Structure 1
């Protein structure tokens, strides 16, 4: 259904929804959970995306976890929706509690191997590229950078 909305109008709606969601979380303090995907290609390059809403900084792909959905399943869904590609070797890397937009947030970080060609949806994600871990682009979102640093410290992979 959302595909019937022209991309520029869809991007505007996403930007408004992002702001409203932030204010709602600050007000309600409802606990949330989300998945972040650290996806790399066969050469070890890491996927980063730029969303049509928010800061415009580079970020790791991911999103909210639906009720009853496993983090690995959410990772598959988010990758299909945002960048139009599959992932394999999906492993839960880490989970931890943090605060985002004033709400308690359970963060699930998964690592995965990219499969197929990147095809950003041009609605939620306007750009998707892989980068050498030692030369990540700037600006990069602080949450994404901290997740990459945690991943690097634990695995020895990546840079930052």
Structure 2
């Protein structure tokens, strides 16, 4: 079944390059009590890279509601103390994407849904995995004050 999800993702990316739609999404810096950040590996696309959890915003949905919904769907936990951090823009996948970044505390134990999310783990900020996406690393560095925000995902 995961091959079907990966195939659908590849078709979607091709369509994005063809039609260049405007999309909206969310990403969430989820921290545990120890200050570690939760990163996931998706089961589609670049499944070798750790990224921030998140996903698309539905029509008429507010970004904060989408952030809470995506964390619940992908990781089966709540996120408390949700704070809007910044808004970014990206043309990286052929679409015109607006990405809302949030930060919050994990409310309970997480579990990867094993459909969209292959793996979910906490990492100390000083021991991030070598296979972290460049955009995710930039967001973490911005949050920790090591890099200035530039508005580009």
SS for the counterpart of 2:89 is: strand
SS for the counterpart of 2:29 is: strand
Are residue 94 (structure 1) and residue 86 (structure 2) matched? yes
TM-superposed deviation, 1:100: 2.8
**Cα-Cα RMSD:** 1.4
User: How many pairs are equivalent?
Assistant: 146
How do 1:102-141 and structure 2 match up within 5 A? 102-141=94-133
Long gaps (5+) in structure 2: 148-153
Q: TM-score, normalized by length of structure 1?
A: 0.87
- Describe the superposition over 1:47-76 as per-residue Cα deviations: whole angstroms up to 9, x where unpaired: 000111111211110011111111111111
SS for the counterpart of 2:126 is: helix
Question: Please, which of 18, 30, 34 is the counterpart of residue 39 of structure 1?
Answer: 30
CA distance in 1, matches of 2:84, 2:92: 21
CA distance in 1, matches of 2:16, 2:63: 21
How do 1:49-88 and structure 2 match up within 5 A? 49-56=40-47, 57-88=49-80
Deviates more, 1:112-121 or 1:93-102: 93-102
Change beyond 3 A, Cα 1:154–1:94: farther
2:151 equivalent in structure 1 = none
Q: TM-score, normalized by length of structure 2?
A: 0.90
TM-superposed deviation, 1:143: 2.0
| Structure with greater helix share of residues | 1
